[in-house]
Copies of this chain bind each other. A is one copy, B any other.
Amino acid sequence: MSLLVVGTMAFDALETPFGKVDRIIGGSAMYIAWSASNFTKPIKQVSIIGGDFPEEEMTVLEKRGVQFEGVEVVPDGKSFFWSGRYHTDLNTRDTLVTDLNVLAQFNPQLPDSYQDCEFLMLGNLAPAVQISVINQLKTRPKLIVMDTMNYWMASALDDLKKVLTMVDVLMVNDSEARELSGEYSLVKAALKIQQMGPKYLIIKKGEHGALLFHSKQVFFAPALPLEEVFDPTGAGDTFAGGFIGHIARTRDISFNNMKTAIIVGSALASFCVEKFGPSRLKEITAKDIEERIEEFVDLVDFDISLV
């Protein structure tokens, strides 16, 4: 049984108030793989790359149990490229360049070896691609989690609504939840979005933490207040990777275990923002993760018995 991850493998150029990089490894599937591989294997990637994508970036992940048979290589094509500049507050950014390159022709074909998928993580991609992957799986995974973004709400709403009916957990940020539901109150937004399909909704609020909604239940996980936030790129994907990685390791899809998974995801995301791109994720150890999770426990720990 395996975790299947669908997403981009790409190059990013980034500008934050703290520095600039011209061409580093990025893409949702890369961040998810780096994060989830702390917890589970095998992880089977579905993506598309050009001949320019460095083989050593895959070799190092292969050692962590990540497989790339489902990644299409277009030898004379170029990998997806994204360039962005963050504003001073790091909460907002401008996209400078989006070169789809090989991503424009992405039509994933799942290898037979991927049919043992127990957990499916659909990174942010065209909803039609997400649907195609789900439809190719002969056995429905135990849990399907999807990420998406406002871009698809504007450009592919019908497809997006269709894939929503096929998944269990949706991850979006707060403004996307509001846009998708037409409700300002996140409580009302969560109820409406659950009616669209996903029984679980995770609303990511960046430095303000994350909310998990299921039926009338709600759980809130804080973000760790950080002294330095260097580069927010990939934090959402890293969160997703920690979430699905914990779920895949424990094979427990209860609401209670999803709460733990959100804390794990938040911990991983708090590392991601400390350096450019996935650099920090390449360094951290199991002990680092354990200590960081302990900080989350302390952060919200209070004794109400006095009341």
Assess whether A229 is interfacial by the CB under 8 Å rule. yes
Q: Does A14 contact B (CB under 8 A)?
A: no
Q: Which of chain B's residues has its CB closest to A295's CB?
A: B218
Q: Which of B218, B260, B262 contacts A299 (CB 8 A)?
A: B218
> Provided the pairs A186-B225, A225-B218, A306-B257 are in contact, do residues A208 and B211 lie with their beta carbons within 8 angstroms?
no
Please indicate the chain B residues that have their CB under 8 angstroms from the CB of A184 in the complex. Answer: 88-89
A264, B225: Cβ atoms closer than 8 Å = no
Whether the pair A260, B300 counts as a contact (CB closer than 8 A) is no
Asked if A225 and B293 make an inter-chain contact with CB atoms under 8 angstroms apart, the answer reads no
| Cβ contacts A to B, 30 pairs, < 8 Å | A88-B184, A185-B227, A185-B228, A186-B225, A187-B226, A205-B208, A208-B208, A209-B222, A219-B299, A219-B300, A219-B301, A220-B225, A221-B300, A221-B302, A222-B300, A246-B306, A246-B307, A250-B306, A256-B302, A256-B303, A257-B306, A259-B301, A259-B303, A260-B302, A260-B303, A260-B306, A260-B307, A290-B307, A293-B304, A300-B300
A263 within 8 A of partner (CB):
yes
Q: How many residues of A contact B (CB 8 A)?
A: 43
Copies of this chain, complex-wide, total 2
Please pick, from B225, B229, B264, B304, the residue contacting A307 in the complex, using a CB distance under 8 A. Answer: B264
Say how far A190's CB is from chain B's closest CB, in angstroms: 8
**Residues of chain B within 8 A of A262, CB atoms compared:** 302
* Residues in chain B near residue A290, CB distance under 8 A: 307
User: Which residues of chain B have C-beta atoms less than 8 A from A263's C-beta?
Assistant: 302, 304, 307
Q: A300 CB to closest chain B CB, in angstroms? A: 5
Q: Mark A237-277, 1 if CB is under 8 A from B, else 0.
A: 00000000010001010001101101110000000000000
Instruction: Mark each residue of chain A from 105 to 123: 1 if its CB lies under 8 Å from any CB of chain B, else 0.
Output: 0000000000000000000
For A21, the chain B residues whose CB sits under 8 A away are none
**A279 CA / B247 CA spacing, docked (Å):** 45
Closest Cβ neighbor of A297 among chain B residues: B304
Task: Please name all residues of chain B whose beta carbon is closer than 8 Å to the beta carbon of A188 when the two chains form the complex.
Answer: 227
Q: Which of A279-295 contact B (CB under 8 A)?
A: 290, 293
